[in-house]
Amino acid sequence: MSQDIRQLLSQLLGGEPPLGQVHFAEHQSQAPDLAFRVDFPRLEILLAGSLQDQFRGEGPSRLAAGDVLYVPANRWNDPQWQGPASTLSILFGKQQLGFSLLQWDGQQLHNLAKQHVARRGPRIGSFLLQTLNELGTQPQDQQTARLVVQSLLSHCCDLLGSQITTRSKSQALFEAVRGYIDSHYAAPLTRESVAQAFYVSPNYLSHLFQKMGPFGFNEYLNYTRLEHAKAFLKEYDLKIKEIATACGFADSNYFCRLFRKSTARSPSEYRRHYHSLKEEREG
């Protein structure tokens, strides 16, 4: 079974499996020891197989593939796994949605996928959840219940899609900033000046580097400058101070300290070592 949550939602919206009975967890004062209970509403969707789930006072109910259980906030359900089955759980938190794909193989429960997405923009989901709360008093209106569940699934799919788009935009911006640094390493770059060039805040720029790459902004800037300094040391007979300036370092002493920290050699030692190796290979 696919472990891509958005693809699973798309399949459900396309009728794979078709939505079946929509069940509603009732209010019960005493929950079994192993019951699942949280402070937020949930949808439990059986994707494959069947299971017994207790969420009413009269005992467990059998759920088949495509059936949906709506559990309002602070209510509980107690799934009793028997044969192989898979469920998708969607938790509607205040700030984000949580998705969890579970599979019972007949002996053991596996968590195949977990994902979160922020709840951004108009709280469309909140109105749909309120509608489900009201439908809980009229569970026989299954047509309306299925339409509301489909709308919730579509809303979740849209949020996951916007998350993918946001990541793509972040990646594109990150690559553009790195390209800018690679081309302007000799200029007096700062976090503030680069942020201004891309119309973002300095704090966002720092967050972008922490999120997308192995280096922070200053680390990447110094790394780029030092790599160019190594090339200068190998190819040109320039003074160390001239190389420092050409690579964007205003202070040659700082450049030397940083270079030694990175290579365990001073710039002069690095140059001599390189030419010594080069002579050995050519000799």
Q: Please tell me the predicted confidence (pLDDT) of residue 162.
A: 78
List every span in the chain annotated with CATH 1.10.10.60.
219-282
- pLDDT above 70 covers a percentage of the chain that reads 95
| DSSP letter, residue 180 | H
Contact, 60 vs 53, CB < 8 A? yes
- Residue 17's Cα: distance from chain center in Å? 27
| C-alpha atoms less than 13 angstroms from C-alpha of 67 in its C-beta half-sphere | 15
> In angstroms, rounded to a whole number, what is the distance separating the alpha carbons of residues 203 and 196?
11
The class of domain 219-282 in CATH terms is mainly alpha
The burial of 29, by beta-carbon neighbours within 10 Å (0-12 exposed, 13-18 middle, 19 or more buried), is given as: exposed
SS3 for 130? helix
Residue type, 85: A
pLDDT digits (tens, 9 = 90+) for 4-25: 899 999 999 999 899 999 999 9
- Retrieve residue 60's tokens: 């467990």
Q: Please tell me the predicted confidence (pLDDT) of residue 164.
A: 66
Handedness of CA 243, 246, 247, 249 (dihedral sign): positive
Q: Please tell me the predicted confidence (pLDDT) of residue 2.
A: 39
Among residues 182, 188, 193, 274, the alpha carbon closest in space to that of 230 is found at 274
Q: Please tell me the predicted confidence (pLDDT) of residue 120.
A: 67
CA-CA-CA-CA dihedral for 116, 129, 62, 32, to nearest 10? 80
Q: Does 38 score more than 70 pLDDT?
A: yes
Round the CA-based radius of gyration of the chain to a whole number and report it: 29
pLDDT digits (tens, 9 = 90+) for 219-256: 999 999 999 999 999 988 899 999 999 999 999 999 99
SS3 for 100? strand
pLDDT digits (tens, 9 = 90+) for 121-164: 556 788 899 999 999 999 999 999 999 999 999 999 988 887 76
pTM of the model: 0.60
Sort residue 199 into left (φ over 0), alpha (ψ -120 to 50) or beta: left
Q: Does 1 score more than 70 pLDDT?
A: no
Q: Does 31 score more than 70 pLDDT?
A: yes
